[in-house]
Chains A and B, each alone.
Chain A
Amino acid sequence: MHELSVALGLIEGIQNSAARDGFERVLAVHVRVGALSGIAPDALRFSWKLASAGTLAADSMLKIVDVPLVVYCERCACERTPRPASGLICPECASACPTIVRGRDLQLVAVEVPE
């Protein structure tokens, strides 16, 4: 629901990188979006068109990598992916796993820029 402000945050991050890394145009943007981030990939793609228009990233492709929710199960002593909409419950032993290892990601990973 705050995909547009996330898209604007991406543009800002890219602009900072452009000044630092010396590029003027962006062809594609790689982002990681966690299952718990509250971000819907389709809405982010839609917002991306609006947010990038008229910037160095205009017409660039947004490449989204979905990161599934991963929790640490104390009882099994390993990482587990809970079943959808089951909260933070270990799918094997059904114990509560409040330690979220991955899935909150909202990360600007990299950009592809012309040689």
Chain B
Amino acid sequence: MKYRVVSIEQSILRKNDALADGLRARFAASGTLVVNLLSSPGSGKTTLLQQTLARLSGRRRVGALVGDQATDNDARRLAESGAPVRQITTAAECRLDADMIGRALERWEPGRLDALFIENVGNLICPAEYDLGEDLRVVVFSVTEGEDKPLKYPLAFNTAQLAVITKIDIADAVGFDRDAAYASIGQVNPGISILETSARTGAGMDGWIALLETQIERKTSARALSVR
């Protein structure tokens, strides 16, 4: 059959990127810091977030959106902190996208938030591609996971501004090689900040909370300036 070629040249993620820009504008207007947490299953993302919400709740208005393929166990765990939490069940989808965030926000009235945490689906491949309009992308990685993980999933580490190494309390017991882990993170993202935490013992949590407080202040004052 005779045919002609019609050139389109359009990113398949264009729609997501446009929706993410919309979310960014919305969160800039409300002065809400948005943190997107990426990790493999079992990294301790939920425990880290549970402690984070508990520590920030008294002083700041914080909330969380939690993506999971099935069950609302994580959302229920997080809600124990008293912070508003909403579950996004992704079913077959392996990541959250900007459209899912937008739709979850439509039916959720947590009031104005200083910070919104988005717990992505446990997966280090697909979520890396999807901009959710976040200010801060955090890749969470536990001492049990293998120090070369950043090399296996370079995009997640390359696009994050911060890496949090969790379960640091058991680092020695599992033979965690700190130098190797830092080297592999540095190989995919030399500019990234790295924090070590244990949500169980509380080690490193003060530094993590202080960092979030600084970011919240920055976002709130940016809003105050634009409102004035």
B-contacting residues of A (Cβ < 8 Å)? 1-2, 4-6, 9-10, 12-14, 17, 21, 23, 27-28, 31, 36-38, 85-89, 96, 98, 100, 104, 106-115
- State in angstroms the CA–CA spacing of A23 and B93 once bound together: 31
Contact A96 B187 (CB under 8 A): yes
Taking a contact as CB atoms closer than 8 A, the residue among B1, B12, B155, B186 that contacts A13 in the complex is B12
Q: List, sorted by A's number, 12 A–B pairs whose CB atoms are closer than 8 Å.
A: A1-B123, A1-B125, A23-B6, A36-B154, A36-B155, A87-B187, A89-B187, A96-B188, A110-B5, A110-B7, A115-B2, A115-B3
Closest 5 CB pairs of A and B: A87-B151, A1-B94, A115-B2, A38-B125, A96-B187
Docked Cα-Cα span, A112 to B4, in Å, equals 6
Distance between A92 CB and nearest chain B CB, rounded to angstroms: 15
CB within 8 A of B7: which of A4, A31, A109? A109
Residue of B whose beta carbon sits closest to that of A8: B12
Looking at B10, B12, B154, B190, the one whose CB has the most chain A CB atoms below 10 A away is B12
B21 to chain A, nearest CB (A): 17
Which applies to chain A's interface (DSSP): helix, strand, loop or mixed? mixed
**A6 proximity list for chain B (CB < 8 A):** 12
B8 proximity list for chain A (CB < 8 A): 13-14, 17, 108-111
A87 to B129, CA, bound (A): 16
Contact residues of B: prevailing secondary structure: mixed
Nearest residue, chain B, Cβ from A17: B8
Q: Please name all residues of chain A whose beta carbon is closer than 8 Å to the beta carbon of B219 when the two chains form the complex.
A: none
CB distance from A67 to the nearest CB of B (A): 13
CA distance A2 to B6 in the complex (A): 26
Instruction: Give the docked Cα–Cα distance between A27 and B2 (Å).
Output: 10
User: Inside 8 A of B13's CB, which chain A residues have their CB?
Assistant: 9, 106
Which of A1, A31, A100, A115 is in CB contact (< 8 Å) with B4? A115
Distance A88 CA – B10 CA, assembled complex (angstroms): 26
* Other 16 A-B pairs with CB < 8 A, given A6-B12, A12-B15, A114-B2: A1-B94, A4-B92, A17-B8, A38-B125, A38-B129, A38-B155, A87-B150, A88-B154, A98-B190, A106-B129, A110-B5, A110-B6, A110-B9, A112-B6, A114-B3, A114-B4
Collect the chain B residues with CB atoms within 8 Å of residue A9's CB.
12-13, 15
Which of B7, B93, B155 is the one whose CB lies under 8 Å from A2? B93
Contact B11 A2, beta carbon cutoff 8 Å: no
- Is residue B191 contacting chain A, with contact meaning CB distance below 8 A? yes
Given A87-B187, A114-B2, A104 and B9 contact (CB-CB distance below 8 Å): no
- CB-defined contacts of B1 to chain A, threshold 8 Å: 27, 114-115
For the complex, is B189 an interface residue (Cβ under 8 Å from A)? yes
Cβ contact within 8 Å between A88 and B2 = no
Please report the C-alpha to C-alpha distance between residue A10 and residue B11 in the assembled complex, in whole angstroms.
9
How far does the Cβ of A55 sit from chain B's closest Cβ, in whole Å? 15
CA distance A28 to B1 in the complex (A): 12
Which of A2, A6, A10, A21 has the most chain B CB atoms inside 10 A of its CB?
Answer: A2
User: Once bound together, how far apart are the Cα atoms of A85 and B153, in whole Å?
Assistant: 9
CB distance from B141 to the nearest CB of A (A): 14
